[in-house]
């Protein structure tokens, strides 16, 4: 119960935990509705991103706000040092500083001034001020030194000036380090884009090979697992998961390299995951199923024979074993399958009454269905 209460206090984590099962429930529904495994995996991946991204983005915004406050903190210390050098007390110096703009740090300084105006002691107000910025180790350490100097009765003015100089040096060193690490970030992105390009190229090369093997051209080579042939759907799923893992890992590594913070990698993760989804939905997930159907003759006599020929291709290679269904005026579908060359043939017998008759032809392959309508005219 204690852990549940702690979870409910953190609203981001709480709502994320509540919404987390939703993508899996939707995927389960899609599974029972007969969706392909590619669709299910894509649904889970996109669903998880939609559920997790808001919480992650809020965390990143908080992190960015703290970094912005850190950047302004040395100027705040310098202003306090100058004000105390002019004879002001610390509360008076803070009152003056509260009227100055320090970016994201301003609201915290204003709140500090409000606490002091309520006659709270400086140590108590300063501790509350530190707590508001507790996610910054740098500010936390500096404020502890200032509070210690205040309690010991030391020269707070000199302490503030010295700390401002030291924090400026630290921030300059961090900026210099980020500049150097920027090249490493570029290299990480290059590696990621090369990886995505190789995956797309490998898929395009592998597609016709799988179909050629189905024709028996590589009878000595078996792309099999446990006696079952691996399909394009299997490789689509495998490559998608591989690229998603690469995007997430590379993104977080980029954040650690740049700022030594895992949370700093969130922006890189979002970029790389978005690129992954875009590339796969443009170049890999859409099926290139193409069907050619011819009917000869298109006009026949009563009880005449009509030949229905068809060729089925995907990714530029013939499809073997595709399901073909032909529905005519009788309402009874005729089922057949494409051969190793991706072709099918059916001889349709015209009815004993003249008129125009509609033939509905349905092609199904790996959960994808394409429907065609052809008309045959029957004359006396």
CA 214 from chain centre, in angstroms, equals: 35
The CA–CA distances, whole Å, from 311 to 27, 44, 207, 368 equal 33, 34, 18, 16
Task: Say how many C-beta atoms besides its own lie within 10 A of residue 109's C-beta.
Answer: 23
Q: What pLDDT, on a 0 to 100 scale, did the predictor assign at position 25?
A: 83
- 290-379, CATH topology level: Immunoglobulin-like (2.60.40)
Among left, alpha and beta (phi > 0; psi -120 to 50; other), residue 342 is: left
Q: What pLDDT, on a 0 to 100 scale, did the predictor assign at position 139?
A: 87
Residue 319 DSSP symbol: P
Cβ atoms of 113 and 134 closer than 8 Å: no
CA distance 137 to 122: 21
Residues 168-176: contacts with CB under 8 Å, at least 24 apart? 168/74, 170/138, 171/70, 171/71, 171/74
- Domain ranges in the chain are 290-379
**Per residue in 198-238, pLDDT tens?**
999 988 887 767 655 554 443 444 444 444 456 677 788 88
pTM of the full structure: 0.56
Q: What pLDDT, on a 0 to 100 scale, did the predictor assign at position 198?
A: 94
Q: What pLDDT, on a 0 to 100 scale, did the predictor assign at position 11?
A: 62
Q: What percent of the residues of the chain are helix, what percent strand, and what percent coil, each to the nearest 5?
A: 65, 15, 20
Helix (H) or strand (E) holding 299: strand 299-301
Q: What pLDDT, on a 0 to 100 scale, did the predictor assign at position 220?
A: 42
Q: What pLDDT, on a 0 to 100 scale, did the predictor assign at position 170?
A: 82
Q: What pLDDT, on a 0 to 100 scale, did the predictor assign at position 1?
A: 46
Q: What pLDDT, on a 0 to 100 scale, did the predictor assign at position 227?
A: 47
The CA–CA distances, whole Å, from 184 to 47, 175, 254, 261, 270 equal 31, 15, 8, 15, 18
Residue stretches of the chain with pLDDT short of 70: 1-17, 34-38, 154, 208, 210-231, 287-288, 315-317
Q: What pLDDT, on a 0 to 100 scale, did the predictor assign at position 288?
A: 64
Token representation of residue 194 = 């090369």
CA distance 333 to 322: 16
Helix (H, G, I), strand (E, B) or coil at 273: helix
């Amino acid at each position: 119960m204690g852990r549940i209460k702690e979870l409910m206090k953190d609203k981001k984590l709480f709502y994320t935990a509540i919404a987390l099962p939703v993508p899996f429930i939707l995927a389960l529904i899609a599974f029972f509705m007969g969706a392909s495994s590619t669709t299910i995996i894509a649904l889970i991946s996109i669903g998880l991103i939609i559920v997790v991204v808001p919480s992650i983005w809020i965390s990143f915004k908080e992190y960015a706000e703290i970094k912005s406050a850190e950047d302004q903190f040395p100027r705040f210390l310098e202003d306090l040092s100058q004000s105390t050098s002019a004879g002001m007390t610390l509360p008076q110096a803070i009152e003056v500083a509260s009227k100055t703009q320090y970016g994201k740090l301003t609201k915290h300084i204003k709140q500090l001034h409000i606490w002091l105006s309520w006659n709270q002691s400086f140590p108590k107000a300063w501790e509350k001020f530190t707590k508001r910025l507790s996610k910054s180790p740098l500010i936390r350490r500096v404020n502890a030194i200032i509070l210690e100097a205040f309690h010991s009765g030391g020269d707070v003015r000199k302490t503030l000036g010295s700390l401002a100089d030291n924090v400026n040096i630290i921030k300059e060193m961090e900026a210099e380090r980020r500049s150097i690490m920027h090249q490493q970030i570029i290299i990480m992105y290059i590696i990621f884009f090369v990886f995505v390009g190789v995956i797309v190229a490998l898929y395009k090369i592998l597609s016709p090979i799988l179909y050629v093997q189905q024709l028996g051209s590589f009878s000595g080579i078996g792309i099999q697992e446990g006696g079952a042939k691996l399909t394009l759907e299997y490789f689509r799923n495998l490559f998608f998961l591989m690229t998603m893992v690469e995007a997430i890992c590379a993104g977080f590594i980029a954040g650690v390299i740049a700022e030594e913070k895992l949370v700093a990698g969130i922006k890189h993760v979002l970029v790389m995951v978005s690129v992954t989804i875009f590339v796969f939905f443009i170049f890999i997930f859409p099926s290139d199923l193409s069907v050619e159907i011819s009917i000869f003759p298109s006009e026949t006599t009563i009880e005449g024979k009509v030949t229905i020929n068809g060729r089925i291709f995907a990714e530029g290679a013939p499809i073997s074993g595709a399901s073909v269904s032909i529905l005519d005026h009788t309402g009874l579908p005729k089922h057949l399958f494409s051969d190793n060359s991706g072709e099918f043939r059916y001889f349709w017998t015209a009815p004993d009454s003249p008129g125009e008759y509609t033939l509905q032809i349905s092609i199904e392959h790996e959960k994808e269905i394409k429907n065609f309508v052809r008309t045959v005219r029957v004359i006396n």
